[in-house]
Amino acid sequence: MRSRVTWDLCWAWYQALPEAQQAQIARMGFGHLLSVRPFHLDVPYLEALRERWEEDCKAFIMPWGHMIPTLEDVAYLTGLPVQGEPVVGLERRDYHDDIAELLGPEFVAGRRRPIRSILLRSLSEAVGLRGRRRGPLESLDEFYAGVRGALDLGDRSEERSVRIFVSYFFGRLLFATQSSQMNFKFVLLLRDLVQAGRYAWGAAMLGHLFSLLPSSSQRSQSTGGFTPFLQIWGYTRFPMGRETLVEGRQTMVPLMTRWEVAPDPRVTDRRAGDVRVALDHYPHDQVVWTPYRGEADASHPAVAAGRPLFDRHLLLLCLGTCEVLYLELVVRTLGWHQPAIEVPSLGREGHSRR
């Protein structure tokens, strides 16, 4: 499995932006997540986990029962807003004029109309970061220093510079897909940067991840969605492998900052099959079902605003995708009383409605 996220560059690019632009991005709801230092993606762990996704019931089928990432997980782990306006976009036949207005005319120069997507590499190239990639022996701080020296915002307005970065952040990290292009409907949501801070980006991220798990579970060679979230979600419930809890980071939201995940020379030859066996034999009494009980940072804005939604069954909207968040399966696994249920169907069986 090859993950398409480019977390190192997103983090370093954000850190290298002027303070005013960082503040604007933070007001849009992304500052907490972008404060998390990138960590290693545990590919065998993710591959073994995604194989257990059951599309019909929108849950991971584990030996000890059903488990579902929820909006509570999103709020605590990422700090993204889960309460707000739904992330839905306008459908147009051609986005040529919108691209030229919101990002700049250079992004449509030489492209044939109609234009419905943005080339992700053109976003990094526009600010002098073409081909910028962290080397295998390069520390994150060294990589950041190189990005800071290469970043060239030119004479663009602050709003355009922010849109270019956030568009790249969407396409390569938060709403990553198996494509090198991104639907321009995401960028239309950035026309008004103040309004952009009112969207439920965290709920959209979770819906986007749900929509891609079925395709990434069918022996594909790459995966989409914000996989670092999925990795840490698993670690908080059934930790195994390369993760390390960092002392002194125990009360912070986003709680992803608690973890350091680095390649371990003792497990570099680990395969997904090894993780499958470990999951099959994981002690059921060590599974953590309520990882946020007693958290001291329950007043964090994303957590406080989202709390009324944490135990509700919802539809997760992300542009044209609608996914079910149905929590009774976890309730059933815990043995709590509930009536018989049926999982609602949205469109064709086994597919999300688009």
Q: Is 84 exposed, middle or buried (0-12, 13-18, 19+ CB in 10 A)?
A: middle
pLDDT above 70: residue 171: yes
* 194: its two tokens: 């103040």
- Tokens in use for 201? 């980006």
Given a cut of 60, whether residue 111 has pLDDT beyond it is yes
Among 269, 265, 19, 261, which residue's Cα sits nearest to residue 140? Answer: 261
pTM: 0.88
pLDDT, tens digit, for every residue of 1-21? 445 458 999 999 999 999 999
pLDDT tier, 219 (very low <50, low <70, confident <90, very high otherwise): low
**Distant-in-sequence contacts of 280-289, Cβ < 8 A, 24+ apart:** 280/63, 282/63, 282/64, 282/238, 282/240, 284/63, 284/64, 286/238, 287/62, 287/64, 287/237, 287/238, 288/236, 288/237, 288/238, 289/237, 289/330, 289/334
Distance CA 62, CA 324 (A): 19
Once rounded to an integer, what is the mean pLDDT over residues 219-233? 80
Model confidence at 65, pLDDT cuts 50, 70, 90, reads confident
The Cβ of residue 71 has, within 10 Å, a number of other Cβ atoms equal to 25
For residues 98-120, average pLDDT: 91
Give me the mean pLDDT over the 36-43 stretch.
Answer: 87
Percent of the chain with pLDDT over 90: 56
Eight-state DSSP code of residue 152 = -
Strand-pairing partners, residue 66, are 61
